Structure 1
């Protein structure tokens, strides 16, 4: 199946998204192009990486993922393709692809100059044709050679001791719920049975199973489908009401 996902910060008010799709379909009209999101905050690599990292494993292995975030930025060192967990990712070498997993890709390719164009729209003129051809059966090696300068960014990592987990908010969703980088596996290993989750001026001493396990206006905390600790206020914009935002600190204190 010739499957391509498409992630960008282009929004839906301009011609950018359909232009990139048209370029891919001109190469192979049978492509199945799936939009992950085009509402990524402008130039926000962390937002884009969180969305893609949270979804790409749900697609079939062999899927090609076209990533168009800040493709013309000053920190973009060319355009690359990587193979990670049997998925193919194409995008700018600006660090975003390094945030998709905690380990390096198995294959990394720097696209050769012959495939690059002097353009203000590299997502359409450079990445789209390669994505369509790879999805149609070509290998990323066909478009370049080994990548030697894979640009890396460091994502926030939770810190854990026997007494405490110190984590951070890594995403505020459109409802104002706050997703942290505190993993359920780590919590379960350290949890002695009693704990306090502290965020902003609030504390909770239990885990819920979902948003509606507390009364409207009350705080909740539970491990979501990503197995990450999520906190917020039922029927309220938690980020605003709690005074929290991206990178805010969240503590889990264990009480022996």
Structure 2
């Protein structure tokens, strides 16, 4: 199955998204194009990486992921294809692919000049044709050579000691729930059995299994389907009501 996911910061009010799709379908009308999101905040690589990291493993191995976020920004150092965990990613070399996993991609290709024409719309003119052809059976090696300069961004990593974990909010979703960078794996490794979770002016001393485990208006904390600590207020916008936002501190104190 020729499957392509499409992630961008184009929004849905202009012609950009359908133009990119049209370019791919003109090459292979049988492509199955899945929209991940086109409402990424403009140029927001952290938001885009969060969406992609949270979803790409749920697609079949071999899926091609077209990423068009900040494609013409000053951070972009050309256009690349990478293979990570049996998935193919096509997009700008601006650091976004370094935020998808703890390990580096197994294959990294810098697209050759013959495939990289000068364009004010590289998502359509450069990335879409390559993504369509790779999804149709071509190899990313067909479009360039080994990547020498893989741009990297440094994600926030939780600080952990025997006594506590200090993490940060990675994302505030549309419901106001706050997703942190504290993983269940790290928590389980350090948890002696008693703890308090501190965020804003609130504290909790238990982990719930979901939103509905607390009464409307009460705070919750649980590990979500991606394995990260999520906090908020049931039926309330936790970000606004708790005064928390992207990169706000969340702490877990262990009791011995």
With structure 2 as the length reference, what TM-score do the two structures score? 0.99
Equivalent residue, structure 1, for 2:117: 117
C-alpha RMSD over aligned residues: 0.5
- The aligned runs of 1:214-253 (5 Å cut-off) are 214-253=214-253
Cα deviation, 1:146-167, whole Å, max 9, x if unaligned, reads 0000000011111111100010
1:51-70 map, 5 Å = 51-70=51-70
Helix, strand or coil for the counterpart of 2:119? coil
1:1-256 counterparts in 2 under 5 A? 1-256=1-256
Query: Structure 2: where are the runs of 5+ without partners?
Result: none
Alignment deviations for residues 234-255 of structure 1 (CA, whole Å, 9 cap, x no partner) = 1100000000000000000001
Q: Secondary structure at the match of 2:41?
A: coil
* Distance (Å, rounded) in 2 between the aligned partners of 1:250 and 1:18: 40
Question: Aligned partners of 1:110 and 1:102: how far apart in 2?
Answer: 21
Partner SS, residue 203 of structure 1: strand
Task: Give every structure 1 segment of 4 or more consecutive aligned residues whose post-TM-superposition deviation is greater than 3 Å.
Answer: none
DSSP 3-state at the match of 1:82: strand
User: What is the aligned residue count?
Assistant: 256
Give the Cα separation in 1 of the matches to 2:186 and 2:207. Answer: 15
Deviation at 1:184, TM superposition (A): 0.5
Distance 1:87 1:206 in 2: 37
1:129 Cα deviation after fit: 0.2
Q: 1:169: how far off?
A: 0.3
| Distance in structure 1 (CA, Å) of the matches to 2:104 and 2:54 | 17
SS at match of 1:88: strand
